[in-house]
Amino acid sequence: MLDEVPALSALRAALHHRLFDRLPAPGPRPEEAWTVQILSERGALRATDAGWRPSPPMAELLRAREDLAALVEFTALAACDMLRHGPALSSGVQAFQSRAETFGFFRYERARGTGAAQIEDTAPWVAYVTALSRREAPVLAPLMPLEGCTRLLEIGGNTGVMAEALLARHRSLHATVLDLPAVCQLGRARMKTAPEPRLSFLPGDARDTAWPEADAVLFKSVLHDWAPEEARGFLEKAAMHLPPGGRLIVCERGALADEPIPSGLAAAANLVFGPFYRPPTVYRGWMEAAGLRPLPPLSARLDMTFHVTAAEKPA
């Protein structure tokens, strides 16, 4: 549904105008006829005696409507940027960044406060990252080498979806998510209906906020946001922070040059960040240089290949 223009446009319109909330209906509004036609041709809607209804696969997607809406909106934004400004990549990453709206979507500076306007500006990109995490966590959580660890610190853990998945697998584990204040507030709000007592949020900036004690530090889809010297500095800080036997874990998509370029409109959501993805050997080298002992690498294929690069601090 996200891989071609008519379906993406129709699904975005249906979600925006809450079409699915008005079903079953004998017929669409005149202005929605094209939306219903496209969605029915793509198998998202089906005609019944009572009128149009979501198909079973579409009904399943609608169970997580907020996630679906977040994915649809970001895919549309990224696809527009790649189509309109893709040639700027030939002039360099900075030329593309200065034109593409994608990078303005992640308004990190607004997330440093918790006022109503700041929460409103932060919520869209936090919702998108949360939607991705819900899809990724079932596949990636089993790859994280946390056996024997009791205190996990996740840097940039967003609303805690990955941390929750790890806590479910490791019953003796406690986790702290360190993220910007507005993100932590949204994370706490997400968990109000089903609180996890072993998960806490620490509002702050990982560069200058004191890190709590931990025997495992996780960077999941965070380090590609940072320039090499800053990303390496985070790993060096983690290496110094860990006790002997502690583990440092990096989970990131691999470099585009190392795998087939994904196709379809949905691929735009990753292609806009393509220049920033690094081979896992880069993180492994930084860990070794920081005095850590590498653990066996693991990977899993999702929208792209995710690599889990981990190391242990020698006793």
Task: Specify the 3-state DSSP secondary structure of 257.
Answer: helix
* Residue 86, pLDDT score: 86
Domains in the chain and their CATH numbers?
5-63 (no CATH), 136-258+274-312 (3.40.50.150)
**If you average pLDDT over every residue of the chain, what do you get?**
94
Strands 51-54 and 45-48 come out as antiparallel
DSSP at 221: S
Q: Distance between CA atoms of 72 and 219, rounded to whole angstroms?
A: 26
Helix axes of 5-16 and 33-41: crossing angle, nearest 10 degrees: 130
| pLDDT given for residue 23 in this prediction | 86
Q: Whole-angstrom Cα distance, residue 281 to residue 272?
A: 22
Question: Taking 80 as the threshold, does the pLDDT of residue 25 lie above it?
Answer: no
Q: How far apart are the first and last CA of the chain?
A: 51
User: In the chain, pLDDT over 90 holds for what percent of residues?
Assistant: 82
Q: Which two tokens stand for residue 176?
A: 């702290």
Tokens of 10: 């129709």
Residue 24, pLDDT > 90, answer: no
pLDDT of 26 higher than 80: no
- 29 confidence band (pLDDT: 50, 70, 90): confident
Alpha helices in the chain (DSSP H): 5-16, 33-41, 56-62, 65-85, 93-99, 102-105, 116-140, 161-169, 181-190, 228-241, 268-271, 280-289
Confidence band, pLDDT 50/70/90 cuts, at residue 193: confident
pLDDT of residue 22: 87
Which of 118, 117, 98 minimizes the C-alpha distance to 108?
Answer: 118
Averaged over 186-212, what is the pLDDT?
95
Tokens 């590609």, residue?
Answer: 224
- Which residue from 79, 59, 106, 50 is spatially nearest to 222, judged by alpha carbons? 106
In this prediction the pTM is 0.93
Q: What's the rounded mean pLDDT across residues 255-271?
A: 87
